[in-house]
Structure formats: structure tokens, C-alpha cells
Amino acid sequence: MKSKVDADKINLLFVKTLKSNIEVGSNFIKEEGQEYHLSLGQESGLNLDEKKIAFTLKVLIEFPNTNEDAKAQAEFVLQFLFEIENLDKLVTLDDEGAITVSGELSMTLAGISYSTARGIILNTTEQSTIRGILLPVISPAKLFTKGKIQL
């Protein structure tokens, strides 16, 4: 790992919505500024030969309520496929063949993915009963916390 991340060498090939599900109880009414629970998770994989990294972001938004009919939740799973022209210079291979991706590249791709997901989720929820969910701005490092992230 000798190179720094160069944004000009990162190509976002596609964004795919693997899951987009909004469930709303019959008595749910979203109030302006209503709080919700947010859980985040991620998975990633890479193909060194093709210089590609897939980053999957999982988002669960819950509007809790003691009345079952007044609860709501939205779940999204979004997959991002990146091609990194100099990927071989941003990873290391150990003696057993395990690949380690540079922290800088991991944070860059997580930041791009999360920022893009914020826009997709806002757009998707805009005309729904849960009306326009704008996810909070977070540090991409939070996406690499073990287990699900609760915000």
C-alpha cells in the first residue's frame, strides 16, 4: 500500500437497490420532526483481478410506538459496485493470501456509498407515508463498527 486514494481513479459502475420496503401501521401519522431509530450495517467484497469492490449498505429506519397499528419502518439494502484503477496499489496481500484494503480507500468508498444512499432514501420516502427521511450525516468510520450501528 504505497499510493494515496485518487478520486479520479474511482469509478462508480452501478448502484442497485436490493431491497426497498416500507411498512406502515394503519394508524401511523408522521409528525414533523418525529424521532426514529436508525440501524446501519455493511458488507463488502472485492475482486482484485478485475479491480472491483462491491459495498452493500443496509439501512433500517423504525418509528416505534406502543400501539402496534401506529408503528412504521423502512428497510433498504443498496449495493454499490466500484472499479478502482489502482486497486493493486491500495491493498496488501499477506503470506496466506488475505487481502487488506487501505483504510483511506475503505473510508472513501463508505462515504460515497452512504452519501448516495442518503439521496436515494430521501427520494424514495418523499412521496410515502413516512415522508422524506433525510439520514443524518455521519463519519464513514461508523459504518465499520462491529454489528449493527444504532443512531
The model's pTM is 0.89
What pLDDT band is residue 5 in, cutting at 50, 70 and 90?
Answer: very high
Q: What tens digit of pLDDT does each residue of 13-33 get?
A: 999 999 999 999 999 988 888
Using the predicted structure, report yes or no on whether residue 149 has a pLDDT greater than 80.
no
CATH superfamily of 7-150: SecB-like (3.10.420.10)
**CA-CA distance, 11 to 17, in Å (whole number)?**
18
Q: Which residue has the higher pLDDT, 93 or 9?
A: 9
Which of 20, 145, 137, 39 has the alpha carbon at shortest distance from 77?
Answer: 20
What pLDDT band is residue 142 in, cutting at 50, 70 and 90?
Answer: confident
